[in-house]
Structure 1
Amino acid sequence: MSRFDLRPYQQEFLAAVRRDFREHDHLLGVAATGSGKTILASELMRGWNGNCLFLADAQELVHQNADKFFRYAGEFAGVEMADSKALLGDRVVVATTQSICRRLDKWPRDYFGLVIVDEAHRNTLGAMAAQVLLHFESAKVLGVTATPFRSDRRQLGSFYEKISVEIGLARLIKEGWLSRILIKSVPLPVDLSQVRTTAGDYNEGDLGEAIVPHLRQAARLIAEHAHGRRTVAFLPLIATSQAFVQACHEEGIRAVHVDGNDREGLRAYERGEFDLVSNASLLSTGWDHPPTDCVFILRPTKSLSLFQQMVGRGTRIAEGKENLLLLDPLFLTDDHSLIKPARLIARSQSNAADLSERLSGGGEVDLLEAEESVVQDRESKLAEKLRLTAKRKARTVDAIEFCLSLHAVDAADYEPELSWECKPPSDRQLEALARAGFDTDSIVYRGHASKILDLLFTRRDMKLATPKQLAWLRKTGHPSPETATFDEASEWLSDCFGEGRAV
């Protein structure tokens, strides 16, 4: 992809970041796996007037990101990691946080004007990351994350000043950039209760021991539920992956194992000579084969980014591909840290629990349709809460009711994420909301006021009905109050109440 082929949402992402850097130093951008985060970073660094540092979250991603930047921008990037040493004079440097932290002495504090932090929810708040960001404290910082969880982003609020833009997985699917995802829960009685945790994730050796006795049953699940699909399977160890492929052969499945020592099987899978390719995390990043339309994760994890990366191997669209089937083994554990498919799009723990319940009900369940059902339930609960507790002043607009009327559930059920959002609304915000007819006593957070004003200004620019008009249109049975223009609303309400009625 050249810089002239940027997708609309990528242009939106970059425009928002460039605009917000005029007023803020530390920005957070949310971009789902599959959105082209490397392209976004490359284009931002390509056009930056000064030196840039890209902090990768893992060693295997450093050379990969440096290579992608060269292919995109036609400019070499220095690599700071292990035996590779970037040079003073390199305009763009790609590094792990750990490597550059150990070598800060060689870098002038004002050397980088832009620092991009990949996997920001894990790669910002640690001790080494803090040293690096403090050393380059005059630089603009863009943190990039794929997590939709509010709690993950709230932790980042002590450093990042604003969530500049959010390009979520659900949006990319709805707009046709990524494949629709079907979730099918399948019974596989792997007991994770005795699996230890190492470096924040399940111990791979323990996982291998827990999973090996169930590989033949897992192969049968593939034969039953993924027949005719192109499948990628993830296992915790090379030996476990090899054993799983053998179990697949015994079930008549054309399967091949690949690892770092032998990738010929991967090329054969891409040519269509095999229906399933199995690996131990080798393919979680840096590999895409769009026709792949089934992902089987036999490598349970507590890492959201790893889970997203594994699922992402099947989310690319391809001619003739209708959807991605994500087979979800029902692992036996009470560990709430286990990442489940609901975490791909759920914004909070309660949302994830509600969505997981719908996804595990049996049969193939469309992820977005399940989410829409959860959102409808949230709207109903909020509407009932509003009905029971509303104490609105006469002739004022209730913020929750206004947001619900536009199906802006996240604005109606608002929770602050960044530190500035937790502050009380500014006098200027309260004045603008009061002029629009809102009951300002119910708006307690600056971030909530900002979201409501964004909705209000968008509607004003589109010449749509005002909040007061919208409320009366709903009360008087207008067929489409959300899309009625200001003039249409005025005419309708005049017919209902007469010319002298002020709304």
Structure 2
Amino acid sequence: MNLNNILSRLDSDVLQKILGKEVIGTLKHLGPKYLYSEGLNNILKNTFTLQELLINKNTRDHIIDVLRKDEIFTIIENLSLLIENDLWEGLKNTSFNEALINKLLLFFDLEIYTKEDIEWIQEINANANYPLYSYQRSVLRKVKKTLSSEKNRILLHMPTGSGKTRTTISYVCRYFVENEDTNVIWFANTKELLDQAYNEFLKAWSNLGDREIKAIKYWDKSNIDLSNLKGTFIVAGLDKTYNALMKDIGKMSAFANETSLVIMDEAHQAIAPTYKLLIESMITTNKSSFIGLSATPGRSWNEPEEDKKLSDFFYRQKAKIEIEGYENPVDYLIEKGYLAKTINTTLLHESGIKLSKTDLEDLKKNYVLSDKVLKKISENSLRNIAIITKVQQLIEKHQRIILFAITKKHAIVLNSLLTALAINSKVLTSETNPNERSKIINDFKISRKQNPNPMVLCNYGILTTGFDAPETSCAVIARPTDSLVLYSQMVGRAIRGTLSGGNDEAEIVTVIDENLTGFGAVADAFTNWDDVWNDVNY
């Protein structure tokens, strides 16, 4: 029995109920032809998997309603159910537990979603040309000199795409060669960043190392006792390690005593209360050296006092790329092909939204608009039409586009609209099934030579850091933000240069709402916080 054939029987009224009023309300602006059953059915199957349609009771009931008599008999018999009276109502009222759902999926020849017990590899022996660009070697010398002083803290300030992770991992390897019986711990707060650091170390140590060394994953399912480690490289989740500290301060103190180098990715978060407590507990006991990494060494873009707190934590010491003959290193990185030349485009929209005094205070405090304001913006149909119209133009010259949505629902709405326009689009949020998420990301990363067709990722909440798809040549920032940190992270997903497998040019489209905030040039972002730091020179 073919489920797609059954879905084709759903009329437009039912399809509109399933897809929801936000999608349908916006589709109406595209024209009546987009509300026909065939188009809505296409959107349904692009937005939800066949498994999801059967697992969800609401959609499953609609499917049951259009079953023919012989079909419902066959299904009930296959599921071994005893239903005597109204077969359709009886089947809808059946309690579908996991086992029954799996039988239903197998009946339609669909793959059963299972939580795979993936083997957890939490340590590996790394074996022994890992070159650095001249600007990376130069900045590394500054780091090494500063960490050999009494004030052994420094923030490594390099633009996204210029090799912060590679540069720092190179230092870590050299540090291990000179210091055998000590631990080095690398903190990050997302799976993408943790995986990136862990994998980069294995790659570097196989070229730079002089012995076998343990590399430890300390996030997710790890049950390693940190207090027993010595001479080990640990990549650790901030939250997991903080919880370990709260659970047993004694064991964490023992671990800190055996640790002499601490690194923190996205170090503009270092003075957040819980993270600051964790970092201080790690570096105070053994007077450990501390390296922070950031493309945006500030907490805000217009609150110097907040930024000063961060710089003071690092003794105001910052190592940044400096190139003779260039006032701003970003210009050099673009000219030489390390970064793509950015074309900044604004998409202006008069949303008519006026920020209240409370909204402005919330914005000043959190650097983001309130959920209520963001929801209102995300549901603006005309704004969404303007965005997808712009994407229609962009796919004429870009083959890989990331669209940053305001909310999960906003990402789904935009994906639905793009699908209606026959644009190859996928939606990706933190709630996307892990297997489906990996497949979508891997498809997006396929070389343009292998798959030259344009692809759009409607994303919310997961691709701002640690996501590396160098051939991405366009980012559409539909998410209003007053955070230069967040904005720079989103821009960074699309500005890899040709030397990094990226592009000559990248286009950054920022949706600017009247009375709301937006940013512009990448080079300006690099120098925004210079007034609260002292750049070290050696």
TM range (shorter): 0.5 to 0.7
Name which of 25, 41, 55 aligns with 2:168: 41
Q: Could you give the per-residue CA deviations for residues 207-261 of structure 1, whole angstroms, max 9, x where no partner exists?
A: 2442232212211122235532122111133332222122224445333334432
* Structure 1 contact 204–237 (Cα < 8 Å) conserved: no
Q: Deviations over 1:470-503 (max 9, x none)?
A: xxxxxxxxxxxxxxxxxxxxxxxxxxxxxxxxxx
- Structure 1 residues 169 and 154, CA gap change in structure 2 (3 angstroms): farther
Q: Would you say the 8 A contact 1:42–1:72 is kept in 2? A: yes
Superimposed CA distance per residue, residues 10-52 of structure 1 (whole angstroms, 9 cap, x where no aligned partner): 2122122112222231122211111222212322222222311
Instruction: Decide whether aligned partners of structure 1 residues 63 and 51 sit closer, same or farther in structure 2, where only a CA change above 3 A counts.
Output: same
2:229 corresponds to: 89
Paired residue for 1:16, among 135, 139, 142?
142
- Residue 79 of structure 1 is matched in structure 2 by 217
Residue in structure 1 matched with residue 290 of structure 2 by the alignment: 141
Count of matched residue positions in the alignment of Structure 1 and Structure 2: 355
TM-score, normalization: structure 1?
0.62
The answer to whether the 8 A contact 1:294-1:326 is kept is: yes
Query: CA separation in 1, counterparts of 2:387 and 2:473?
Result: 18
Contact 1:193 1:332 (8 Å CA) reproduced:
no
Report how far residue 79 of structure 1 moved: 3.3
* Percent of residue pairs identical: 21
Q: TM-score, normalised by structure 2?
A: 0.58
C-alpha separation in 1, matches of 2:214 and 2:384 = 45
Amino acid at match of 1:174: E
The structural deviation recorded for 1:329 is 1.1
Q: Does residue 1:294 correspond to 2:474, yes or no? A: yes
C-alpha separation between the residues in 2 aligned to 1:257 and 1:218? 15
Report Cα offsets for 1:250-308 as digits up to 9, x if no partner: 44533333443224444444333333222213332333333322110112234433322
**Secondary structure of residue in 2 paired with 1:325:** strand
Structure 1 residue matching 2:263: 3-state secondary structure: strand
Q: Distance in 2 between matches of 1:325 and 1:276?
A: 14
Preserved contact between residue 101 and residue 132 of structure 1 (Cα < 8 Å): no
Tell me the equivalent position of 1:216.
385
Separation of aligned partners in 1, 2:258 and 2:407: 42
2:474·2:508 contact (CA, 8 Å) conserved in 1? yes
Cα pair distance change 1:220/1:47, threshold 3 Å: same
Distance 2:272 2:412 in 1: 38
- Higher relative CO (CA 8 A, sep ≥ 6), structure 1 or 2? 2
Q: Check 1:321–1:56 CA distance in 2 against 1; reply closer, same or farther (3 A cut).
A: closer
In structure 2, what is the equivalent of residue 430 of structure 1? none
Shift of 1:348: 7.0
Secondary structure of 1:130's partner? Answer: helix
Unaligned stretches of 5+ in structure 1? Answer: 352-409, 422-446, 455-503
**413, 420, 425: which one aligns with 1:243:** 413
1:273 is the counterpart of 2:453: yes
| Structure 1 partner of 2:337 | 176
1:485 — aligned with what?
none
Q: Which amino acid aligns with 1:242?
A: I
Paired with 1:81 and 1:199, the residues of 2 have a C-alpha distance of 27
2:159 touches 2:526 (CA, 8 Å); kept in 1?
no
Gaps of 5+ in 2: 1-127, 207-212, 322-328
In the alignment, structure 1 residue 255 sits paired with structure 2 residue 402: no
Alignment check: 8 A CA contact 1:26 1:160 kept: yes
The answer to whether the 8 A contact 2:154-2:319 is kept is no
1:6 corresponds to: 132
3-state SS in 1 of match to 2:463: coil
Distance 2:272 2:156 in 1: 16
C-alpha contact 1:182 1:323 (8 A) present in aligned 2: yes
CA gap of 1:128–1:55, structure 2 versus 1, over 3 A, is same
User: d(CA) in 1 for partners of 2:144 and 2:219?
Assistant: 29
| Letter matched to residue 95 of structure 1 | A
2:257 aligned counterpart, secondary structure: coil
CA distance in 2, matches of 1:312, 1:111: 36
8 Å CA contact 2:350, 2:513 repeated in 1:
yes
What's the offset of the Cα at 1:347? Answer: 6.3
CA distance in 2, matches of 1:247, 1:328: 19
Q: Do the aligned partners of residues 266 and 293 (structure 1) sit closer, same or farther apart at CA in structure 2, a change above 3 Å counting? A: same
Q: Does the C-alpha gap of structure 1 residues 126 and 171 become closer, same or farther in structure 2, counting only changes over 3 Å?
A: farther
CA contact (8 A) 1:301 1:339 kept: yes
Structure 1 partner of 2:317: 163
CA gap of 1:96–1:170, structure 2 versus 1, over 3 A, is: farther
Distance 2:489 2:313 in 1: 26
- AA in 2 matched with 1:241: A
Tell me what 2:491 maps to: 311
| Farther-moved stretch of structure 1 (82-91 vs 10-19) | 82-91
- Residue 62 of structure 1 and its aligned partner are, at CA, apart by 2.9
Equivalents in 2 of 1:148, 1:26: separation in Å? 14
Q: CA deviation at 1:323?
A: 0.8
Distance 2:137 2:514 in 1: 43
Question: 1: CA distance between counterparts of 2:460 and 2:507?
Answer: 20
CA shift in 2, pair 1:118/1:290, >3 Å? closer
Matches of 1:225 and 1:347 in 2, distance apart? Answer: 27
Structure 2 counterparts to residues 93-172 of structure 1, below 5 A? 93-104=234-245, 105=249, 106-107=251-252, 108=254, 109-124=256-271, 126-137=273-284, 138-147=287-296, 151=304, 154-167=308-321, 169-172=330-333
SS in 2 for 1:229: coil
Per-residue CA shift, 1:324-354, capped at 9, x if unaligned? 11111112335xxx451247624677x9xxx
Separation (CA, whole Å) in 1 of partners of 2:497 and 2:316? 32
Deviation at 1:82, TM superposition (A): 5.3
Change (3 A) 1:97 1:3: farther
Equivalent residue for 1:328?
510
Cα distance change of structure 1 residues 98 and 249 upon mapping to structure 2, 3 Å threshold: closer
How many Å apart are 1:158 and its aligned residue? 2.3
What secondary structure does 1:9 align onto?
helix
Q: Please say if residues 189 and 239 of structure 2, whose CA atoms lie closer than 8 Å, have aligned partners that are also in contact.
A: no
For residues 376-421 of structure 1, the C-alpha deviation after alignment (integer angstroms, 9 at most, x for no partner) is: xxxxxxxxxxxxxxxxxxxxxxxxxxxxxxxxxx8xxxx4x34xx6
Contact 1:188 1:218 in 2 (8 A): no
Question: Take 1:339 and 1:144, find their aligned partners in 2: how far apart are those partners?
Answer: 24
Q: Residues of 2 paired with 1:192 and 1:72: CA distance?
A: 52
Q: Is the 8 A contact 1:308 1:344 kept in 2?
A: no
The answer to whether the 8 Å contact 2:265/2:292 transfers is: yes
